[in-house]
Amino acid sequence: MKNLSFALLMLLSTLSYGQFEMGLKAGLSSMDLSPESILINNGESTTELSIREANYGYHFGLYTRISVANIFIEPAFLFNSSSVEYNLDEQIFDQGIFSTIKTETYNNLDIPFMVGMKMGFLRIQGGPVAHIFINSASELTAIDGYSQKFKDATYGFQGGIGLDLFKIRLDLNYETNLSRFGGDIDINGTPFQFDQRPARLVASLGLRF
């Protein structure tokens, strides 16, 4: 109890002497995914599902920042939408191969918690990020037995640089993810996933209130 009281006292002291700000943030992200495929055997047909390309994603929301001297913490709450295109090659026995392009869109609440250091108008920063699943829209339902089993949350790490110019906040971060891509794919009760862990380059423009 004494340790908890001391921690709360230190937190309140930091908030009272620190500088607090809040603002809006929005931007784009580019997902780095290498070409890769998985094979799905449905008995009377064989389907090859391969990554075609990842489209640019977008995000927007609120950020807050508490600064003490040249050290700061910056949690943010951002709606993020991204999509990936797949090549779907279905080989039906005695009928040949049928190829189509399918898209899957993912919507998440991203919660990055950045810790960094300011050097004039320049910042360096890094910290964990949580992706809370909201919903998705998929054209992969064309695969027999396809279903989605998204985790409630996945986690990664972001690190990068930022610039503070008057009320404008510019950020460029690189993100790695702890989960393998495609972990939501389930076909006839069997989970499928790709070998790689997705990475993103995230660019944001913020405006302090």
* 84 closest CA partner among 146, 35, 25: 35
Phi, psi (rounded to 5 degrees) for 185: -80, 125
| Residue 58: how many other CB atoms lie within 10 Å | 14
**Domains, the chain, with CATH or none:** 19-34+55-83+105-208 (2.40.160.20)
pLDDT for position 150 = 75
Q: What does the pLDDT look like over 102-132, one tens digit per residue?
A: 899 989 999 999 999 999 999 999 999 999 9
Instruction: State the pLDDT confidence band at 7, using cuts at 50, 70 and 90.
Output: very low
